[in-house]
Amino acid sequence: MNRGFFGQGGIGAASTHRTIRARSQRAMDRSRRSAWARGLAAAVLVGFAGAWNGPTVLALVVASGLTAFDLGRRDRDERSKLAAANGFVRDPYGTAMQVAFLLLMCAGAFENRSPDRTWEPPGGYGVAGMAMILLGVRLRQSAARALGRHFTVVLSVLPDHELVSSGPYRWLRHPNYAGLLLIALGTGIMVRSPLFLVGTLALWLPLALLRIRAEERVLRGHLGERWNEYANDRWSLLPGLY
């Protein structure tokens, strides 16, 4: 009798494990399909904005598709994990920033849509823009290494959240946003799009500042006086300015 009881328990446990694995696999498949759909939609939208003309437009199409795919993949995965850990915070500004950046890419493609555009040497604008992009990427990578598992696309505060003082966080409270700003400005300069640059400063940056305020409000509520002391010793986004 005991052998039968334990045998049934083993079968039941194995069946439960297979069910959990199957559900996890289905969730991963849905996440992957959703990310691919977002990437494809972003690429098509930018392509139509630029009339699919010229190497600059095609470069923006590829960049938009890859960015939307990566953000979609990480966003869905992180939301499910953080919800399970009670660390997810509702965040309308994050989505708005992603939409704003997609509109900027459309603006850059629109201003480079001429069928007469052909490949040409990058020149001073291209070199300056690429340098800013690489600096922004490097800054974001440094921020990600310093934060470790706390580096997420979605807004989150975990129960064991800690203040980080290493890497770029020695000087800035939000080096990730500073890196994104450099990438956006660098892209606008590299593709020589005044509309892209104006949109970055008039649309994307205000949304980023609103998200920073929301993020700091959550951190202040979670960490209290420790956050105030931390914030007083560091610039928010731009050293010497803000």
- For the chain, what's the residue count? 242
* Mean pLDDT score across all residues of the chain: 81
List of residues 6+ apart from 119 with CB closer than 8 A: 55
What residues form DSSP beta bridges with 88? 156
Query: DSSP labels for 8-61?
Result: HHHHHHHHHHHHHHHHHHHHHHHHHHHHHHHHHHHHHHHHHHTTT-HHHHHHHH
- Closest Cα partner for 151 from 82, 83, 102, 63? 82
Q: Using CA atoms, how far apart are residues 27 and 79, in angstroms rounded to an integer?
A: 12
- Closest Cα partner for 110 from 199, 49, 59? 49
Structure confidence at residue 62 (pLDDT): 94
Q: Using CA atoms, how far apart are residues 16 and 29, in angstroms rounded to an integer?
A: 20
CATH code given to domain 36-232: 1.20.120.1630
Q: Using CA atoms, how far apart are residues 25 and 191, in angstroms rounded to an integer?
A: 41
Q: Using CA atoms, how far apart are residues 195 and 8, in angstroms rounded to an integer?
A: 67
- Closest Cα partner for 138 from 75, 170, 180? 180
Q: Using CA atoms, how far apart are residues 49 and 223, in angstroms rounded to an integer?
A: 45
Is the pLDDT score of 64 beyond 90? yes
Is the pLDDT score of 17 beyond 80? no
> How crowded is residue 206: how many other Cβ atoms within 10 Å of its Cβ?
14
Is the pLDDT score of 181 beyond 60? yes
Q: Write the pLDDT tens digit of every residue in 191-238.
A: 999 999 999 999 999 999 999 998 888 888 877 888 888 888 889 988
CA angle 195, 198, 199 (to 5 degrees): 80
